[in-house]
């Protein structure tokens, strides 16, 4: 039932991945902040596992303070002051490269582990706490898990599991057997990581144990800022069945351009077969077809009418694109628009969208939002490429 990971390959891959990300970030920055981690890499799971490690360290610091025998931490005033202090501390995360690089590598390894072998991953998570603490542990940590979440969704608040490790493990296995045909393939999940460093699926494990179909992703919803909340509280999701990434206004950041090398593709003839390895063939946007369609419509005379795409999107369009295409994250939209502005032609821009966003964010290429977004991209360029 479980695939065996090639631990040596995954270990080396995680180090190379972390090194490349850090080389693209730290030459211009001394510290990594919590807000920047959220959108640091193309893999949302790697980003959130990195934050999960920080959350666990934050909790350990809190327990250390409470273990001091000389003060009454049950006092209400002390409790409130301590909570406020810890929340402020969580919102001022600053990590130097020497400490961040191994932390990111661990998040990469955990992400691969979860993608390939979710049963063993969750059983390992259960083992971190006592049986009667698993329910609370899942409540606190579910916001950081973005893959295979359906396996644990109905385990939260299930007192009938008798609060034993074996009961949770049996329930987990039952969920897996019931959902086996719907579980996402690790090859789909890990594609986003391949945008940073090539990931050889043949070396990850010996067996692809899932013959699966992809499950549509949940649509994240932005939440209001809570003044007395911690950085970790701002990541909380609103629906038990949807483990969503949310950004409050104070987490909106200007994304840095990473020096990740893009794999070059021959685009001259724009073949009809799958061109970009990070998405399924039925997901990708065909630049030739889109260009031909817009050229036959009223938009033909508008080619090249937009100079800076990042400055030409209306307020209503920004709201729609953010909500429907960029997981409720305005900065992902900003980053996409700026990246498109740097492209030399229409085909290059569509290549960028396919590679970074279409598959990773689960775009419906036939949707109204995608069509309107592509219209703007068409108006940006006067040549197809």
Q: For the chain, what percent of residues have pLDDT higher than 90?
A: 18
Rounded-to-integer distance, Cα 349 and Cα 336, Å = 10
Same domain, yes or no: 222 and 299: no
The string of pLDDT tens digits covering residues 206-261 is: 554 434 444 344 444 343 443 456 555 556 543 323 323 333 333 223 323 333 23
Residue 42 has pLDDT above 70, yes or no: yes
User: The domain containing residue 193 runs over which residues?
Assistant: 7-251
What is the model's pLDDT at position 111? Answer: 94
Total count of domains within the chain: 2
What is the model's pLDDT at position 123? Answer: 92
Same domain, yes or no: 61 and 200: yes
Same domain, yes or no: 203 and 71: yes
Residue 158 has pLDDT above 90, yes or no: no
What DSSP state is assigned to residue 121?
H
CA distances to 195, 232, 256, 259 from 40, rounded to whole Å, are 13, 16, 9, 12
Instruction: Identify whether 55 is part of a domain.
Output: yes
Same domain, yes or no: 105 and 224: yes
Rounded-to-integer distance, Cα 380 and Cα 343, Å = 10
CB 55 within 8 A of CB 232: yes
Instruction: Identify whether 80 is part of a domain.
Output: yes
What is the model's pLDDT at position 98? Answer: 93
Rounded-to-integer distance, Cα 323 and Cα 312, Å = 18
Same domain, yes or no: 242 and 166: yes
- Give strand pairing partners of 165: none
User: What is the Cα Rg of the chain in Å?
Assistant: 22
Same domain, yes or no: 218 and 292: no
Residue 187 binned pLDDT confidence (cut-offs 50, 70, 90): confident
What DSSP state is assigned to residue 355?
I
Residue 117 binned pLDDT confidence (cut-offs 50, 70, 90): very high
Same domain, yes or no: 100 and 163: yes
Among candidate residues 299, 291, 287, the one with its CA nearest the CA of residue 354? 287
Same domain, yes or no: 104 and 219: yes
Rounded-to-integer distance, Cα 57 and Cα 34, Å = 13
Mean pLDDT of 297-305: 61
Listing DSSP states for 191-221 in one string gives GGGGGTS---HHHHBS-------PPPPP---
CB 138 within 8 A of CB 156: yes
Instruction: Identify whether 368 is part of a domain.
Output: yes
Listing DSSP states for 88-115 in one string gives HHHTT--B-HHHHHHHHHHHHHHHHHHH
């Amino acid at each position: 039932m479980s695939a065996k990971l090639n631990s040596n390959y995954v270990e080396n891959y995680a180090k190379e991945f972390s090194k490349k990300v850090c080389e693209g970030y730290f030459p211009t920055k001394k510290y990594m902040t919590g807000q920047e981690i959220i959108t640091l890499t193309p893999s949302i799971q790697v980003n959130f596992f990195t934050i999960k490690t920080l959350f666990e360290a934050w909790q350990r610091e809190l327990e250390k303070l409470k273990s001091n025998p000389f003060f009454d931490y049950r006092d209400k005033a002390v409790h409130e002051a301590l909570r406020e202090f810890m929340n402020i501390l969580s919102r001022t995360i600053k990590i130097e490269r020497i400490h961040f690089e191994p932390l990111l590598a661990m998040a990469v390894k955990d992400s691969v582990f979860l993608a390939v072998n979710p049963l063993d991953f969750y059983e390992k998570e259960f083992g971190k706490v006592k049986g009667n603490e698993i329910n609370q542990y899942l409540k606190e940590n579910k916001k950081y898990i973005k893959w295979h979440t359906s396996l644990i969704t109905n385990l939260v608040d299930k007192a009938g599991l008798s609060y034993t490790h074996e009961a949770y493990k049996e329930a987990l296995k039952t969920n897996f057997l019931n959902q086996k045909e719907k579980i996402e393939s690790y090859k789909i999940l890990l594609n986003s990581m391949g945008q940073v460093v090539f990931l050889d699926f043949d070396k990850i494990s010996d067996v692809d144990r899932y013959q699966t179909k992809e499950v549509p992703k949940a649509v994240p919803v932005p939440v209001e800022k809570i003044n007395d909340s911690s950085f970790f509280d701002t990541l909380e999701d609103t629906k038990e069945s949807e483990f969503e990434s949310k950004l409050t206004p104070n987490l909106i950041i200007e994304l840095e351009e990473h020096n990740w090398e893009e794999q070059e593709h021959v685009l001259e003839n724009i073949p009809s077969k799958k061109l970009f390895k990070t998405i399924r063939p039925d997901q990708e946007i065909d630049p030739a077809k889109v260009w031909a369609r817009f050229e036959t419509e009223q938009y033909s005379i508008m080619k090249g009418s937009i100079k800076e795409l990042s400055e030409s999107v209306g307020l209503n369009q920004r709201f729609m694109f953010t909500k429907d295409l960029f997981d409720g994250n305005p900065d992902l939209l900003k980053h996409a628009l700026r990246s498109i502005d740097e492209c030399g032609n229409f085909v290059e821009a569509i290549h960028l969208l396919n590679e970074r966003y279409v598959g990773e964010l689960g775009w419906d290429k036939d949707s109204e939002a995608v069509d309107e977004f592509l219209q703007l991209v068409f108006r940006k360029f006067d040549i197809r490429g």
